[in-house]
Structure 1
Amino acid sequence: MDWRQLSAGLFGADHAIEQDGHLLRGSATFDGRTLAVVGTTDHAPIGVHLALAQARVVLDTVAQHPGRAILLLIDTQGQQLRRRDELLGINRAMAHLGMTIDLARRAGHRVLGLVYDQALSGGFITSGLIADACDALPEAEIRVMRIPAMARVTKLPESMLTALSQSNPVFAPGVDNYVAMGGVRALWRGDVRVALRDALAEAPVADRRAADGKVRGGRRLAADVVQQVLDAP
């Protein structure tokens, strides 16, 4: 879905969201309160410049609008695969973006991620997966790595990984699999305004992804391992 179509469905004409290259930023009024909006579009590759630009919006919101909820609109093909960005420290820039989102949460801002088109790799990890909760549209595409690339990294046959993906969401791309794993809390079906209202009201303060993954059967051991670590002397 195009971000303009999504914004019109969510806010009507009552928003000031602007596109600057691949960057989305601005604000919107919803149910009488103002939301900060930041994100990306056009399957954006997240390089140093774009990561820092998003981080700047988050930090300005924390500094200038204490407590204002933040909506992350996610459409990315992952990190920018370019030598320039590697030399400039893309890992640190993306980590900085993730830390600003964590700072906003700790400062009392509700942060909600929405995958409205595509979410791949590190561009998703340092945005939606750090929010209080991350939701998605049913037609969204989410994955960290395609099976052929996974086979090259793990040195396992593609046929084995394909077979595993049929029964284990960890090995499979697709929005439904991320719901099963707890990475995506819910899919927005039907009226997106109703879905946003529910998402803002129900966004958890504590990280529930491992627990949701256990209940949904997509990550059966993560919650238990987390608890063992917390209980360790």
Structure 2
Amino acid sequence: MTTDALFNSLFGPGRHTIIIDGAFMHGTAVVAGREAVVIGTRDHAEIDCELALKVAGTLLAAVAEDGNGSRPPRTIVILVDTRGQALSRHDELIGLNGCFAHTAGCADLARRCGHRLVTLVHGDAVSGGFLAFGLMADRICALPHAQVRVMDLRAMARVTKIPYDRLVVLAEESPVFAPGAENYWRMGAVHELWSADDDWCARLEAAVNCAEAGDTRAALGLERDGRRLASPLAQLVAAAS
């Protein structure tokens, strides 16, 4: 799907003004009858320091523009297509981890200032490139053919020293070890899986309306039988504190 087709499917023709700056996208669109801020990545972007700071700067600009009380804080729609962080010595040396932490902090600031954050995964959502801003949203939806994963099983085998064949078996038994949007839905990390036949404008409006319900991901993981211990353990800790 082309970028223009994606925008038209999500927001409707003529209802968006979005600038394409390489792998970075930013602008505004009409969602649920109101202007929303749009931030995103495309073309399987590798998130380097420059791109992370562009995302952070756009988040901060939205907070500043809506912070004078002239209008309610706008919804921020985050469009994600990233293969993860840039694997370069240059970015590591100048502090890619700090840039990611800053971006995540800006997303948290936007939420605390009243902005609803809704992520739409329209391509890849991999590793730190997803964790830094897309996974920070109040509501996360995966479009058809979206791929969500931390790392593939062969890379996981190298890091954990668990044999690859054993990880394949574990991935069949538990979504925690398995890549894919459906497995992340089972764990509660993805709230919604959209289909090609859905009315994406209507689904986005519904997602925005649900975005302020609080963080229910642990409870969703228990309900969907993908993450059985997170919610009970959190309740035990809360009761003991």
Counterpart CA distance in 2 for 1:2 and 1:225 is 44
Cα deviations by residue, 1:62-118 (Å, 9 ceiling, x for unpaired): 000241110000000000100010011000101111111111111110110010111
Counterpart CA distance in 2 for 1:71 and 1:63 is 17
Q: Paired residue for 1:168? A: 174
Structure 2 letter corresponding to 1:8 = N
**TM-score, normalisation: structure 2:** 0.94
Q: Paired residue for 1:98? A: 104
Q: Which runs of 5+ in 2 are unaligned?
A: 68-72
**TM-score, normalisation: structure 1:** 0.97
Counterpart CA distance in 2 for 1:229 and 1:153 is 30
Structure 1 letter corresponding to 2:185 = V
Other structure's SS at 1:26 match: strand
Q: How does 1:55-134 map to 2 (within 5 A)?
A: 55-66=56-67, 67-134=73-140
Q: Structure 1: which 4+ aligned runs deviate by more than 6 Å?
A: none
Say whether 1:10 aligns with 2:10: yes
Q: Contact 2:118 / 2:137 at 8 angstroms: preserved in 1?
A: yes
Q: How does 1:131-210 map to 2 (within 5 A)?
A: 131-189=137-195, 190-210=198-218
CA drift at 1:23: 0.6
Counterpart CA distance in 2 for 1:231 and 1:28 is 43
Between the two proteins, the alignment pairs up a number of residues equal to 233
CA drift at 1:208: 0.9
Q: Contact 2:139 / 2:210 at 8 angstroms: preserved in 1?
A: no
Other structure's SS at 2:124 match: strand
Taking only the aligned residue pairs, the percentage that are identical comes to 47
Q: Contact 1:138 / 1:175 at 8 angstroms: preserved in 2?
A: no
Q: Which moved more, 1:7-16 or 1:154-163?
A: 7-16
Cα deviations by residue, 1:168-221 (Å, 9 ceiling, x for unpaired): 000000110010001100012211111101101112442111110011011111
Counterpart CA distance in 2 for 1:4 and 1:231 is 49
Counterpart CA distance in 1 for 2:66 and 2:150 is 33
Other structure's SS at 1:17 match: strand
Q: Contact 1:115 / 1:140 at 8 angstroms: preserved in 2?
A: yes
Counterpart CA distance in 2 for 1:59 and 1:6 is 25
Counterpart CA distance in 2 for 1:22 and 1:88 is 21
Q: Contact 1:98 / 1:126 at 8 angstroms: preserved in 2?
A: yes
Counterpart CA distance in 1 for 2:185 and 2:163 is 26
Q: Contact 2:26 / 2:40 at 8 angstroms: preserved in 1?
A: yes
Q: Contact 1:25 / 1:37 at 8 angstroms: preserved in 2?
A: yes
CA drift at 1:230: 2.1
Q: Paired residue for 1:221? A: 229
Counterpart CA distance in 2 for 1:204 and 1:171 is 29
